[in-house]
Amino acid sequence: MGEFELIRRYFAAAPCAQAAEGVALGIGDDCALLDLPPGEQLAVSTDTLVAGVHFPDACEAFLLGQRALAVSASDLAAMGATPLAFTLALTLPCADEDWLRGFADGLALMAAACGLALVGGDTTRGPLSLTLSVFGRVPRGQALTRSGARPGDLLCVGGSLGDAAGALPLVLRERRAAARIARPLLERYWAPQPQLALGQALRGSATAALDVSDGLLADCGHIARASGVALLVERERLPLSAPLLALLGREAAQACALGGGDDYRLAFTLPPSLLPAFQRDWPELAVIGRVEAGAGVQLLDAQGLSLDLPAGGYQHFGATHD
Ligand code: ADP
Ligand code: MG
């Protein structure tokens, strides 16, 4: 099977590559063409996943397809953008048809869940890696950025934290657990659900937002720096799922929530008066702290006393973390 037959069979013919709203021209030409309604801006994000770094070398292609797109779509959620389209640059060691079928199916499932159309890409031979770019639309000036948090705002997250980090030893088969514990945690690792509806609802309300991908404390540091404020995180208010607590106990579960990556939950700052409306519509939303004047991130215990920050946040080049 040549490159063009591969593209046609597994990608151009995929359900997610068919005609879609906002896509004037899809796969097959030199560029795709996207339509943007008047008064809207294009939100763009790219993520690369490399075998052995971002996912285990031996993993199910279906799960990888699902997860790769979820990771990218989560960036659109974090900006409050409405998903439009994505491109896929795929580097493959060989054209294994079972692998391609599984991967394309996983991709199509997540694309349908997110409302994203596949509009192009590139296909090359080499060690397995994926680069996805996602495109979304957002009313001009209304995107959620990291830079607007103000003293007095609440710090909130869109749901339980630490599940994916807790699942990692299960993913890597370094550890086993009963199915009722392992299944929901593995689901959170392999098929995180980008919080797209929450992100869009937060437009005009949240003062800053991002998706938690590097670990809560590290990501809070990004908001603190961009906004020029201090973020206070209360350890006892971290939302922890029942399976994570059952697997690890409270202390280790808290450590996963604070330092583990891959949650893809939204973390955002919100003026307190706006909280009740969001709590009504998003029961999983949790207030985990607040914004104060100052700089950096502080972790507080149940008494409000400052705790030492664990080292955390994955960085590809060097281990320094401030
Ligand atoms: P070009 O040489 O003009 O860059 P290619 O031969 O790489 O075009 O690709 C042909 C068409 O197939 C283009 O529209 C491209 O966007 C699309 N394409 C290539 N690889 C993929 C892929 N993995 N997924 C989706 N579309 C792809
Ligand atoms: Mg090309």
Return the pLDDT at 91: 97
* Å from CA of 115 to ligand 2 middle: 25
| Atom number in ligand 1 closest to CA 3 | 6
Q: Can you name the residues that pair with 82 across neighbouring β-strands?
A: 137
* Å from CA of 10 to ligand 1 middle: 12
Residue 58 lies in a domain: yes
Residue 65 Cβ < 6 Å to ligand 1: no
The answer to whether 46 is annotated as binding is: yes
Chain mean position to CA 31: 27
Please state whether the predicted TM-score (pTM) of the whole model is above 0.75: yes
Low-confidence stretches of the chain (pLDDT < 70) are: 311-322
Q: What is the CATH number of the domain that holds 161?
A: 3.90.650.10
Return the pLDDT at 317: 56
Residue 123 Cβ < 6 Å to ligand 1: yes
Is 106 in the same domain as 161? no
d(CA 31, CA 47): 20
Is 174 in the same domain as 262? yes
173 CB-near residues (< 8 Å, 6+ apart): none
Residue ID of nearest Cα to ligand 1 atom 22: 121
Q: Which of 49, 26, 210, 53 is nearest to 135 (CA)?
A: 26
Residue 28 Cβ < 6 Å to ligand 1: yes
14-71 per-position pLDDT tens digit = 999 999 999 999 999 999 999 999 999 999 999 999 999 988 888 999 999 999 999 9
* Å from CA of 12 to ligand 1 middle: 9
Residue 121 Cβ < 6 Å to ligand 1: yes
DSSP 161-199: -SHHHHHHHHHTTS----HHHHHHHHHHHHS----HHHH
Residue 317 lies in a domain: no
Q: Which domain holds residue 221?
A: 154-307
Encode burial over 305-319: b for 16+ CB neighbours within 10 A, e otherwise: eeeebeebbbeeeee
Return the pLDDT at 76: 98
Q: What is the CATH number of the domain that holds 84?
A: 3.30.1330.10
* Å from CA of 133 to ligand 1 middle: 14
132-162 per-position pLDDT tens digit = 999 999 999 999 999 999 999 999 999 999 9
Is 175 in the same domain as 269? yes
